[in-house]
């Protein structure tokens, strides 16, 4: 229950910040263009708090925090006194109206740059993208990528950590190939490898992009020594203790941690004989893993303990931290990568290269907000930047109920030299609303299937 409340609180905080940023973009440019703003509202429905400023604008915080709006003086909506007609939105030049509408998404992009700027000022601990293993006969193996190579760039995009690698690779869904620049093991010599993606099958809900290509990141050795135990778990019930070293399971010698994982997962509610080394003496125990049902219906075993992992070599650790000026460039570069990735994903969603089942809604966003908030302010800021870019791109889609739809009507007006008729706009709003509701329904359905 506490987890749900934490996710909800983090989600509402993130949503409130991003809505305020988006609407402030419209508000700020509208004021600069001489448009009178009647109301600036965060949320819909009954007002929880309101105040009329010296500028005459009513500032409101409403009950339903799932959006917001800026209500501007407009003759198409209300009667406007003669002395205020020059402050009405509809009486402004086309370029001014376009600037006001585009300012919301643009503010989201600027906020992403600001968020990443703060992130890079604080610093983000990361590890170099060194490859630990390559699956035989995989796409990566056929391209000539091998263990120990370090990824340097993907299709011309420079990368420094695994997060950047994932973003760059995901953007290639639906493409025929991917050009990867790597360094040979223990050298600075760079070579290019071309991955053939014509038979690449990747489902984001089922596997990671790296795994689908046959790439496993380097990670420190996992020992067979127990370092963590879950309270009231099957491991404690069996008598396992911290620092026990697993030697054998069901009389079969164990040399790798994956053997332990496979044995436990494949024996839910079934007794396993375990031999562990404890303070130099061999101890025999019986472990009965608990049963856990997966989302796909499979039942696996779960024991409730974790192994000791060797520390990362210092040469593999990096800290993505920059000075105030350099951080601006890095933040702008990161934001641009997010913009192009999001635009590519939306395009591929429309063309069918990305399955509609990969569309996410507010539940997935709430879970993401809660998880990143757990890790600290740096990761939460990165999450805000990601969602802010997505919000900006989505609002630029040419659906009449969104900013992109208004810009589409303005583009038509620029060509025809006259505004689009209210009847056509009304039909567009109805169609756009229906499409938007359908997409939200699909996204919510996908969220529930992931629970």
HSE (side-chain half, CA atoms, 13 Å) at 153: 9
> Distance between CA atoms of 290 and 294, rounded to whole angstroms?
13
Q: Do 40 and 27 meet the contact criterion of CB atoms below 8 Å apart?
A: yes
Rg value, the chain, Cα? 27
Cβ neighbour number for residue 436 with a 10 Å cutoff: 17
Q: Do 393 and 95 meet the contact criterion of CB atoms below 8 Å apart?
A: no
Between CA 209 and CA 216, with CA 212 as vertex, the angle to 5 degrees is 80
Q: Which of 23, 75, 176, 310 is catalytic?
A: 23
**Of 93, 95, 75, 94, which Cα lies nearest the Cα of 85?**
75
Helix orientation angle between 377-395 and 94-122, rounded to the nearest 10 degrees: 160
3-state SS class at 273: strand
Please identify which residue in the block is written with the tokens 């989505």: 394
- Phi and psi torsions of 418, nearest 5°: -150, 150
3-state SS class at 46: strand
**Of 217, 225, 235, which Cα lies nearest the Cα of 134?**
217
**Of 258, 241, 259, 239, which Cα lies nearest the Cα of 250?**
259
> Distance between CA atoms of 105 and 111, rounded to whole angstroms?
10
Query: What is the end-to-end Cα distance of the chain in Å, rounded?
Result: 14
Residue 23 among the catalytic residues: yes
**Of 307, 211, 331, which Cα lies nearest the Cα of 254?**
307
The residues carrying an active-site annotation are 23
């Amino acid at each position: 229950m506490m987890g749900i409340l934490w996710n909800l609180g983090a989600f509402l905080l993130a949503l409130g910040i991003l809505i305020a940023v988006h609407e402030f973009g419209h508000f700020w440019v509208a004021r600069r263009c001489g448009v009178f703003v009647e109301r600036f509202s965060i949320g819909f429905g009954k007002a929880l708090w309101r105040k009329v400023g010296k500028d005459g604008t009513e500032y409101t915080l409403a009950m339903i925090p799932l959006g917001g709006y800026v209500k501007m003086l407009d003759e198409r909506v209300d009667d406007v006194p003669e002395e205020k007609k020059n402050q009405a939105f509809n009486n402004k030049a086309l370029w001014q109206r376009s600037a006001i509408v585009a300012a919301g998404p643009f503010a989201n992009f600027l906020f992403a740059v600001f968020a990443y700027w703060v992130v890079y000022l604080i610093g983000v601990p990361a590890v170099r993208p060194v490859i630990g293993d390559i699956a035989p006969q995989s796409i990566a193996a056929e391209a000539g990528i091998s263990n120990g190579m370090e990824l340097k760039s993907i299709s011309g995009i420079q990368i420094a950590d695994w997060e950047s690698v994932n973003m760059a690779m995901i953007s290639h869904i639906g493409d025929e190939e991917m050009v990867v620049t790597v360094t040979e093991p223990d050298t600075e010599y760079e070579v290019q490898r071309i991955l053939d993606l014509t038979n690449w099958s990747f489902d984001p809900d089922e596997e990671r992009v790296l795994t689908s290509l046959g790439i496993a990141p380097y990670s420190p050795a996992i020992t067979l020594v127990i370092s963590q135990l879950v309270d009231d778990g099957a491991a404690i019930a069996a008598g396992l203790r911290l620092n026990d070293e697993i030697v054998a399971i069901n009389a079969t010698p164990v040399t790798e941690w994956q053997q332990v994982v496979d044995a436990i997962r494949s024996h839910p509610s079934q007794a396993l004989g375990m031999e562990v080394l404890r303070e130099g003496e061999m101890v025999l125990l019986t472990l009965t893993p608990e049963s856990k049902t997966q989302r796909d219906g499979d039942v696996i075993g779960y024991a409730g303990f974790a192994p000791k992992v060797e520390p990362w070599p210092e040469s593999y650790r990096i800290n993505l931290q920059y000075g105030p000026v350099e951080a601006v460039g890095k933040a702008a570069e990161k934001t641009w990568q997010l913009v192009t990735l999001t635009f590519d994903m939306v395009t591929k969603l429309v063309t069918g290269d990305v399955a509609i089942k990969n569309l996410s809604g507010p539940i997935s966003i709430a879970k993401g907000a809660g998880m990143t908030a757990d890790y600290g302010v740096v990761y939460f800021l990165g999450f805000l930047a990601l969602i802010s870019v997505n919000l900006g791109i989505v609002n630029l889609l040419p659906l009449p109920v969104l900013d992109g739809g208004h810009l589409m009507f303005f583009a038509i007006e620029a060509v025809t030299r006259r505004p689009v008729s209210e009847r056509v706009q009304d039909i567009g709003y109805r169609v756009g609303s229906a499409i938007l509701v359908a997409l939200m329904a699909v996204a919510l359905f996908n969220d529930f299937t992931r629970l």
